[in-house]
Structure 1
């Protein structure tokens, strides 16, 4: 069952260097380099398109070769690309250095162009119409705080659910004012800590800290550790099965969000949807790409069969 999904946020050049041996700080390290198109919003958009949905993408872009690469990648993914193009600006980029096992060492995000996606952009007629016809809106923390708040409020007026992708500890705080109108926010423990304030005594306490902020539903991941999710007054915990063949961690969280949202769109309750999300994440972890090219509904269903359902927490 196809749904129409409007995705707003990061779509940019994604550079990843992988160190070949042991990491030596402050020195030259042998390794390899890969350049692709990425961004939290764009990764979610591509995953949802691979699962058969009709996806529209709105993202600021520069008038340069990197912007053309983003446009080409969107076309190849079957996404309806509707960018705001700033001809005199450079397209944003994300540069990451990874350990030999795929874990992140450090990253540099050159994202200043996204600050130009101000709330007034939401008044463009074509975008207002896109919001009104969507079955789901997905946005990420690359957008300014005022834009996220205005977007979530506009979606609420149209009765369209909104899902948020935190992106990073530095950016998740931009969702703070939008939370009462956000239906589900995907974040990791570092991002949840910035948003909620003091660290909980146990991971299962995250919902108690996030609900008072107005958030109706959320998913908090911790790498290979336990995932805590909540919807309304219910809380669930899931321990992802180990992945022995990790190729690259980039995009795994975006895949988890996309897999979960796909299942929610098909009417699954959050616990069952989270199983689908973990399955999508496992497929991505085993791929050298931020979006696994082999992802489809049959593979997702097969991978989900190997994930244990979440346990309700009382």
Structure 2
């Protein structure tokens, strides 16, 4: 069984869903939910449900929200080894969604992640976890210097490194580490923030991103075409149309999970892109940021609805 170590965000997600047409500057009727979330944590749970041995290391406060995260890790079978700060509050992400599931606005209260400094990587348990893993996955919730230290550790230990961009504001923390990252998962806004480019054709992204030293990546555009590239292959895919979208939160993390699951089984990027699209399609049909029912059988069933990728 492949071992995946995740270093990144694990916090509380709060999401409000507006029930009717959104009226800016006014009170909108809707509903509210809370659950554990975070880019790295969502991917960790997905990958565990897909049969991998997954460990996550993330800062956490000594509060009830931290207990919520710990319980979600246990439920998903993720080995949870946090840095716990008893006098701090667990980070949180608060989002407002339109009734079609699209994001209106969000607030990220993530100050605790600043305490995940590079020296934390020198703790013996963390060094051992890195050495024992087959794949490292980080997200841009962590400080820039820590992300660079993770990339350096990945190279030193000859481990493939994947990263999740998280947001346009945070992805720039990964810029210096790009030459050491094997796969970066991002949407088009995050790719634009990283490169300073605006493109009309998604096929232009690999050239712009490789010019920054990035070895491989996946760029999504919501329900539109997604592109994946490595040093040897580039592929484009139109995701399957999903009629009953409940919530798009976690779709990008699911794409990363499915893609990495395929890569871990030595699949080519073109096939990994199909796995990622299938995992994302399953996730957007759930009201949660991860689908509790996700497993390899369900992924295989959804793959039947995903077209072949177009090779470029």
Output the TM-score relative to the length of structure 2. Answer: 0.99
Q: Does 2:79 align with 1:103?
A: no
8 A contact 2:234–2:270 mirrored in 1: no
Aligned length: 312
3-state SS of paired residue (1:213): coil
CA distance in 2, matches of 1:158, 1:209: 28
The residue number in structure 2 matching 1:290 is 289
* Long gaps (5+) in structure 1: none
Report the aligned-residue RMSD.
Answer: 0.8
CA distance in 1, matches of 2:102, 2:201: 24
Q: Does 2:299 align with 1:300?
A: yes
CA distance in 2, matches of 1:281, 1:14: 18
The Cα shift of 1:229 comes to: 1.2
CA distance in 2, matches of 1:200, 1:56: 37
How is 1:155-174 mapped onto 2 (pairs within 5 angstroms)? 155-174=154-173
The Cα shift of 1:234 comes to: 2.8
Q: Which runs of 4+ in 1 moved over 4 A?
A: none
The Cα shift of 1:303 comes to: 0.4
The residue number in structure 1 matching 2:256 is 257
How is 1:1-314 mapped onto 2 (pairs within 5 angstroms)? 2-313=1-312
CA distance in 2, matches of 1:198, 1:185: 17
Output the TM-score relative to the length of structure 1. Answer: 0.98
CA distance in 2, matches of 1:14, 1:5: 23
The Cα shift of 1:201 comes to: 4.6
The Cα shift of 1:305 comes to: 1.6
CA distance in 2, matches of 1:211, 1:62: 38
3-state SS of paired residue (1:250): coil
CA distance in 1, matches of 2:240, 2:80: 35
3-state SS of paired residue (1:15): strand
3-state SS of paired residue (2:211): helix
8 A contact 2:97–2:103 mirrored in 1: yes
CA distance in 2, matches of 1:265, 1:198: 31
The Cα shift of 1:75 comes to: 1.3
